[in-house]
């Protein structure tokens, strides 16, 4: 039986709403991190309550790993809920501007 158009639009609206909320949450990283950290990182996605953050070097990834609990706490406070339970820092080995297109 063909699905009603209203049902299709309702599901589409839910999917768009989740995508917009995910983008809003990823953008919160800029409020969590200070200026020095922001210049050397870029939050790229949230999947299964894990925030994925690119870093300019392995040293940055290691340093930020030590601060992970504080970042998660501040992130969730700003989100107003327990939005993430983990952060994964992935080093890229170069200035973060190269990867975000902001040279």
pLDDT at residue 8, rounded to an integer: 63
CATH of the domain at 58: 3.30.300.180
Indicate the number of domains in the chain.
1
Whether residue 35 has pLDDT greater than 70: yes
Shortest CA distance to 71 belongs to which of 98, 38, 93? 38
Confidence category of residue 41, pLDDT binned at 50, 70, 90: very high
Q: How many CA atoms lie within 13 A of 89 on its CB side?
A: 25
Q: In this structure, what are the phi and psi dihedrals at residue 23, rounded to the nearest 5 degrees?
A: -65, -40
The DSSP output letter for 102 is -
Instruction: Please give the mean pLDDT across all residues of the chain.
Output: 84
CA atoms 62, 68, 70, 74: torsion sign = positive
pLDDT at residue 13, rounded to an integer: 55
Q: Which range is least confidently modeled, 7-21, 37-51, 79-93?
A: 7-21
Q: Do residues 96 and 54 touch, judged by C-beta distance below 8 A?
A: yes
Confidence category of residue 98, pLDDT binned at 50, 70, 90: very low
Alpha-helix runs per DSSP H in 1-45: 5-27, 29-32, 35-39
User: Please, which residues have CB within 8 angstroms of residue 37's CB and are 6 or more apart in sequence?
Assistant: 64
Q: How many CA atoms lie within 13 A of 47 on its CB side?
A: 5
Give the model confidence (pLDDT) of 54-89 as tens digits. Answer: 999 999 999 999 999 999 999 999 999 999 999 999
Domain residue limits at 42: 5-100
């Amino acid at each position: 039986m063909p699905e009603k158009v209203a049902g299709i639009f309702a599901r589409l609206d839910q999917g768009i709403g989740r995508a917009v909320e995910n983008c809003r949450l990823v953008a919160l990283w800029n409020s969590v991190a200070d200026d020095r950290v922001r210049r050397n990182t870029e939050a790229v996605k949230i999947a299964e309550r894990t925030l994925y953050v690119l870093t300019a070097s392995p040293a940055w990834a290691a340093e930020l790993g030590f601060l992970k609990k504080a970042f998660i706490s501040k992130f969730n406070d700003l989100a107003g809920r327990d939005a993430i339970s983990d952060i994964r820092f992935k080093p890229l080995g170069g200035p973060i501007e190269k990867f975000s297109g902001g040279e």
